[in-house]
Amino acid sequence: MSGPPRPGAPGPGARDPGVQPERTRLAWRRTTLACAVACALLVRQAVREGSGADGYGAVAVVLATGLLLAGLAHRRSGGLSGARPAPLGPLAASAVAGCTVVLATVGVVMLR
């Protein structure tokens, strides 16, 4: 049942952020952690196989991609502190998707 608004509660149309920004920050942390684990496993695979220059090139690509994704996640998490956070821009969303595709592609190539 809906009764009169509580004292101090936001009025109609006001944004009540609740815990949504915190959930989004945690989601970005999980994404960054998953990326770090994937990078570590790909580096481990390259070192174990000792695949020479190709393997070290793949390691460089994986590490650069991981750093880019971590930077994007940090930037997005910091942008959630405002009263009305801006949505993720199309360039940043494309960069995150590109990082995911690069990591998946390198993983598939390294497992062959």
Per residue of the chain (112 residues), what is the pLDDT tens digit?
566 666 655 555 555 566 778 888 889 899 899 889 888 888 888 778 776 667 778 888 888 999 999 999 988 888 887 777 788 889 999 999 999 999 888 888 877 7
For residue 110, is it within any domain?
no
For residue 34, is it within any domain?
yes
For residue 3, is it within any domain?
no
**CA–CA gap between residue 79 and residue 73 (Å, rounded):** 10
Q: Give the domain range for residue 43.
A: 20-80
What's this model's pTM, rounded to 2 decimal places?
0.72
**H helix count then E strand count, the chain:** 3, 0
For residue 108, is it within any domain?
no
The count of structural domains within the chain is 1
